[in-house]
A and B are shown apart, each in its own frame.
Chain A
């Protein structure tokens, strides 16, 4: 059975309340939402946000995330330093959580978004379904990369013992927060229906 999509049938779906309208409709008569067959400027905005996310990830991983100032001297550590520290002390579980949330997830998100955009760009029809599954996955795990920002914020907030021991935020925190926000926005502005559109056009 051939699948007919909304563009071929001259219909437009309200993404807020799932009501199907004629293509001429501008606003949904049930919930008042704006109607677009595909999210406007989806590809352009995704490319922009993914690439800026990738740029911010570089300083986020190379610069120190937080600096522990104590009587023993300053101790600045990047994200990977933290992971390695926990591996040495034997806390494998916590090392895994930090590595997964702060190193793996951001890079995985950026690579998947680039992969999806390349699928559309080079019209790799065989990879559509796999791409959609990856898109669902990064949409689900996307917010977990904020974990390290919260951890830094909490430690800075709690450890304030003047000369004895103080934790201050490192320069990587800002870059990391921006990278997380950029990649989250990139997945939000992307429209997965664009993947399937080329399958439709290929038949005609």
Chain B
């Protein structure tokens, strides 16, 4: 039996050494204490896919507008960046950070964590990247940005002729693979391998 404590209510619980169920919950507050993740190799592949999907997003337009012969289009990055010129650099930075920079950072951090572990390094060497990953997870907001594009499309549709660019379709796939990657990754697996080594 391995003793641990619930991170949400503090009660001491004993988890069995060989976890048979895919999920373990706290007996008092029902917080998720342990869940089963996917193999690291699969997550690495998925994270690389997500990063590759991000490459075309840097130059493909997500939306374009036509108003009385005038044309305007923007990529994911440009749409947020124009707030800087508008005199709101703080909001622009916050949006770019949470919507684009952090999700990409998360995928890079996952690779930094999982590739060394896959090659047989000790978990202690990747712990610092994992702590960064934990913080970035709280602030990464790809899915919110995706829904906000949908809201913006509806708001703009009665104002101008709107065309959906190829960037938007790729962004939907990017958000999906991003979500799958973070779902598949179970942080406990980093340390469980440590137990196997000892």
Decide yes or no whether A196 CB sits under 8 A from chain B.
yes
Whether A150 contacts B95 by the Cβ 8 Å rule is yes
Interface of B is mostly: helix
Whether A188 contacts B138 by the Cβ 8 Å rule is yes
Q: How far is the CA of A3 from the CA of B10 in the complex (A)?
A: 9
Decide yes or no whether B130 CB sits under 8 A from chain A.
yes
Query: Interface 1/0s, chain A 1-41, versus B by CB < 8 A?
Result: 00111110101010111111000000000111100000000
Whether B148 contacts A13 by the Cβ 8 Å rule is no
Q: A98-B151, A157-B82, A164-B68 are known contacts. Are A195 and B9 too (CB-CB below 8 A)? A: yes
Decide yes or no whether B180 CB sits under 8 A from chain A.
no
Whether B86 contacts A196 by the Cβ 8 Å rule is no
Decide yes or no whether B145 CB sits under 8 A from chain A.
yes
Decide yes or no whether A177 CB sits under 8 A from chain B.
yes
Closest A residue to B94 using CB positions: A177
Whether B91 contacts A174 by the Cβ 8 Å rule is yes
Decide yes or no whether B118 CB sits under 8 A from chain A.
no
Q: How far is the CA of A3 from the CA of B123 in the complex (A)?
A: 32
Decide yes or no whether B3 CB sits under 8 A from chain A.
yes
Whether B10 contacts A146 by the Cβ 8 Å rule is no
Whether B63 contacts A164 by the Cβ 8 Å rule is no
Interface size class of B (residues with CB under 8 A): 35 or more
Whether A16 contacts B141 by the Cβ 8 Å rule is no
Closest A residue to B195 using CB positions: A30
Closest B residue to A89 using CB positions: B158
Task: Tell me which of B52-60, B104-112, B171-179, B186-194 binds A.
Answer: B186-194
Q: How far is the CA of A5 from the CA of B28 in the complex (A)?
A: 11
Whether B148 contacts A6 by the Cβ 8 Å rule is no
Decide yes or no whether B90 CB sits under 8 A from chain A.
yes
Whether A164 contacts B70 by the Cβ 8 Å rule is yes
Q: How far is the CA of A17 from the CA of B128 in the complex (A)?
A: 12
Q: How far is the CA of A30 from the CA of B73 in the complex (A)?
A: 50
Q: Across the interface, which residues of A come within 8 angstroms of B29, CB to CB? A: 129, 132, 196
| Other-chain residue from B27, B68, B86, B145 in contact with A156 (beta carbon distance below 8 A) | B86
Q: Across the interface, which residues of A come within 8 angstroms of B123, CB to CB? A: 30-31
Whether A13 contacts B7 by the Cβ 8 Å rule is yes
Decide yes or no whether B127 CB sits under 8 A from chain A.
yes
Q: Across the interface, which residues of A come within 8 angstroms of B145, CB to CB? A: 150
Task: Tell me which of A43-51, A52-60, A113-121, A165-173 binds B.
Answer: A165-173
Whether B144 contacts A181 by the Cβ 8 Å rule is no
Q: Across the interface, which residues of B come within 8 angstroms of A132, CB to CB? A: 8-9, 29
Q: Across the interface, which residues of B come within 8 angstroms of A147, CB to CB? A: 144, 147-148, 151
Decide yes or no whether A159 CB sits under 8 A from chain B.
yes
Q: How far is the CA of A149 from the CA of B159 in the complex (A)?
A: 20
Whether A156 contacts B82 by the Cβ 8 Å rule is yes
| Other-chain residue from A15, A32, A173, A184 in contact with B128 (beta carbon distance below 8 A) | A32
Closest A residue to B138 using CB positions: A188
Whether B95 contacts A153 by the Cβ 8 Å rule is yes
Whether A9 contacts B80 by the Cβ 8 Å rule is no
| Other-chain residue from B5, B63, B130 in contact with A6 (beta carbon distance below 8 A) | B5
Whether B5 contacts A11 by the Cβ 8 Å rule is yes
Whether A158 contacts B72 by the Cβ 8 Å rule is yes
Q: Across the interface, which residues of B come within 8 angstroms of A9, CB to CB? A: 12
Sample (8) of A-B pairs whose CB atoms are under 8 Å apart: A17-B188, A19-B4, A94-B155, A147-B148, A154-B148, A177-B94, A184-B138, A193-B7
Task: Please name 9 further chain A to chain B contacts, defined as beta carbons within 8 Å, in addition to the given A129-B29, A169-B88, sorted by A numbering.
Answer: A4-B11, A6-B12, A11-B5, A19-B191, A146-B148, A150-B152, A151-B155, A153-B92, A193-B7
